[in-house]
Amino acid sequence: MTLETVSENKAFGGTQGVYKHASAETGTEMSFAVYVPPHDKGARLPVLWFLSGLTCTHANVMEKGEYRAACAEHGVILVAPDTSPRGDDVPDAKDEYDFGKGAGFYVDATQQPWAKHYRMRSYTERELPGLVAANFPVDMDRQGITGHSMGGHGALTIGLRNSERFRSVSAFAPICAPSQVPWGEKALGRYLGDDRAAWREYDAVALIEDGARVPKLLVDQGTADQFLDEQLKPELLRAACQDAEIDAEVRMQEGYDHSYFFISTFMAEHVAWHAERLASDA
C-alpha cells in the first residue's frame, strides 16, 4: 500500500508528520497524523492511538492536543486517524454536524447509502494499523488507545473488543453509552438499522454488560461540559465497571468543558499513564 507524505516537521526532537493513502476499506483517500519521538536507530516504540470526536479530523489534536512534549519524554508514538471517509462521492448529511462526514462513529455501517464507505471500524482496527506497522518504528505488541467524545466512544469500544491487543485504554469525555443518548441513537440507528441488538458491540456500557473486560480504564470528564448530562453519561460507565469489577478511574475535573482546552490540560497525564503500561517490561 502506497503511503504519501503530506508534511513533516521537527518537533521536540522528533517528527510530526501527516500522511495519506488510498484506503481499501473506505474506498476513499484517507489522511492521518503520526508523531514519532526521538529514538535510537533500530528501536521499536510503543504506539498510542488517538481517536477524535465529532466534526474533527486528525488536525484537531495535532494542532491543539499538546501531546508532543510528553510523547518525546516517554518515547511513545502517537497516531491520529481521521473520523470518517472523505470525498465528493461519499454520502453526507450536510446540515447535520453529528452524522455523515466527520461523524463516522467508528462503526462499519450496514445500511445504505452509508455501507460502501463508512467502514471506520475496519479501517481503525485493521487497515491503518497494518499500514502504520509497515512504515513506522512501532512495536505492535505495545499498543494503547485513547480518544475524545465520539473518539472516546471509539477508544473504549475498540479497546474492549480487542483487549488482547491494547495494554491500555483511556478517554476524554467519551460517549459512554451511545445506545442510550441522542447522538448515539441517531448514528447507530442510521448506520446500522433498527435492530438495537446490533448496536451493542458499539456501546462501551453494553460491551461490559455482555462480558468484555479490560484490566483498567482512565477517563477524564469536565464538570462544565455542556454535553455531560444528555450525551456522555459517565455515571453509566462507572456503574458498569463497578458491576464487572473493572478498575475504572473516572475523574470529574471541576470547571472544565468539552473543548481542547480541557484535553490539552490532561493530555500529558494520559500519555504518561499509557507509557507506564506500555513499558517493555510491563
Residues with catalytic function? 149, 225, 258
Cα separation of 31 and 84, whole Å? 10
**Which of 139, 116, 99 has its CA nearest to residue 25?**
116
Cα separation of 173 and 55, whole Å? 15
With cell 440507528, the residue in question is 189
DSSP line for the chain: ---EEEEEEEETTEEEEEEEEE-TTTSSEEEEEEEE----TT--EEEEEEE--TT--HHHHHHHS--HHHHHHHT-EEEEE-SS--STTS---TT-TTSBTTB-TT-B--STTTTTT-BHHHIIIIIHHHHHHHHS-EEEEEEEEEEBTHHHHHHHHHHHHTTTTEEEEEEES----GGGSHHHHHHHHHHH-S-GGGGGGG-HHHHHHTT---SEEEEEEETT-TTIIIII-HHHHHHHHHHHT-EEEEEEETT--SSHHHHHHHHHHHHHHHHHHHSTT-
Cα separation of 179 and 176, whole Å? 9
